[in-house]
Amino acid sequence: MSILINKETRLLVQGITGKEGLYHSELMRAYGTNIVAGVTPSKGGEWVLDEKIPVFDTVQTAMEVTEANASVILVPAKFAFDSIYEAIDAHIPLIICITEGIPAMDMLKIKTILKTSETILIGPNSPGVITPGECKAGIIPGAIAIPGTVGVVSRSGTLTYEVLYAMKGKKIGVSTCVGIGGDAIIGTGFIDMLSMFEQDPDTEKIVLIGEIGGKDEELAADYITTEMTKPVIAYIAGLTAPKGKRMGHAGAIIEGRAGSALQKIELFRKAGVKVAEYPEDIPALL
């Protein structure tokens, strides 16, 4: 089993006719993902990917014709608000936004819209979601993960890849890996993902990859203490980050001790979470 996506997922790609959209759509389809449609305003009626995938002007039309139930957004930042809003308005169950650099005010508006919607938004600035052997939606390399029983949730794309590759090297498989995105304002956070993994009968353990900045990891530690029954292993990036320097993701903002790697590590350990010193230590802890 898996969370969010599986072999039954019918994916549409918003921005499929762009350079990045076409490139990553080809990789997703080669992996086995069932891409049923693309959406690019004014490009409706065209066909892409060997003339097998139809392009529509709107998400609503694409869903009505193809019964798509998930969307990956691969559009420039200036078009991202409209793309996300359109998908929410069409009541698509799952949106995975790869786009980075979306203005914070745009995301604040999206967060308000999501409060009255049943749509799940992953991202923005997300590497995507992968259920190994079944489906990948986004830009996570398909070859670095194998099917298994460990759920992975991460704020960092690159660290996600490193951890998945290290796990594969020790023949440790993944149920689903979710990159929630590294921006300050995102749709779905750690607690939502931990809850899904807790309820998934085929996920036995969870790996959480966090980093400096924000309070998501602190809130996750509290949630693990009170709500989780499955073991959680964590890695927090940024322990040696120099003070007074901006670095990493837009969400990597530290105020005093709050948001620091040391603070998050301490809270996770108090919650009974094993914390890896380096990403490559995670397989041994699992």
| Tokens standing for residue 193 | 């993902």
Which is it for strands 120-122 and 70-73: parallel, antiparallel or unpaired?
A: unpaired
Catalytic residue among 140, 249, 260, 268: 249
Adjacency order of strands within the sheet including 11-14 = 47-48, 53-56, 35-39, 11-14, 70-73, 94-97, 120-122
Judge contact between 220 and 191, C-beta under 8 A: yes
Nearest to 116 by CA among 72, 79, 85: 85
Question: Is 24 designated active site?
Answer: no
Nearest to 92 by CA among 66, 129, 59, 115: 59
DSSP string of 60-74, one letter each residue: HHHHHHH---EEEE-
Q: CB under 8 Å to 57, separation ≥6 — which residues?
A: 39, 40, 41, 42, 43, 44
* Helices (H), ranges, 170-230: 190-199, 216-227
* Whole-angstrom distance, CA of residue 176 vs CA of residue 129: 7
Q: Which active-site residues does the annotation give?
A: 249
